[in-house]
Amino acid sequence: MHRFANPTRFLKLARPLTWICFWSGLALVLGACIWGLAAAPADRLMGDTVRILYIHVPTAWLGMGGWVAIALASIVQLVWRHPLAGIAARAAAMPGAVFAGLCLLSGSIWGRPTWGAWWVWDGRLTSMLILFFLYIGYIALVNASSERGQTSRTAAIFGIVGAVNIPIINRSVVWWETVHQPPSITLSGSSIDSAFLWPLLASVIGFSLLFGAIVLMRMRAALADIRVEARLQRLAAA
């Protein structure tokens, strides 16, 4: 892990990986959306409204996945003091918040014709809304840090504690009576018909690659800012 602690070594790997993730992710997302809109059939009960599935599920997955990335990077920062861990956590926060927001928005659009309401105080929806607010709080904490591109110890602890909400989101449809449908994909298998499942998996993988590309871009930008600031400080001291 510490092999990539050197920013130069990390950047050498991150530059090509960014564009590989970006273009392959974009191709998968576009292909999955075209597949889902043109080839996949309408649902027997929900009709064509089911097609928002290819946006809603990946954004929900990455809204939660972004916070898991923050929590893991925060643990690495606090325990092993990896110099890039704080930068990685900070880089994942904004795209994670955007995906969480898109999840809530797409869910509301899907819920209106399905449930007859834009919003209900359901366990899954409420815990996802809490996650979005956690992102906002985390971003405020890291922006308050006095070190450019770094993440404070307080923000790292907040990132770890906030991860308690992830299993609550995941299990909310099992623990409480809810209008949200139960899990369709579990470790024991999937209840989704293959006509919907394959474009959905392609969409999830595509959006995940785009998320990775965005995080790498933000990490590279943060490292560039740190280098510029260090150079200016050297010039000022000369």
For 157-214, the pLDDT digits (tens) are 999 999 999 999 988 887 777 777 777 776 677 778 788 888 999 999 999 999 999 9
Of 11-25, 80-94, 200-214, which range is least confident? 80-94
CA distance 122 to 28: 32
As given in the structure block, the two tokens for residue 113 are 């014709």
Q: Supply the pLDDT for residue 51.
A: 87
CA distance 224 to 56: 34
As given in the structure block, the two tokens for residue 125 are 């929806």
CA 125 centroid distance within chain: 17
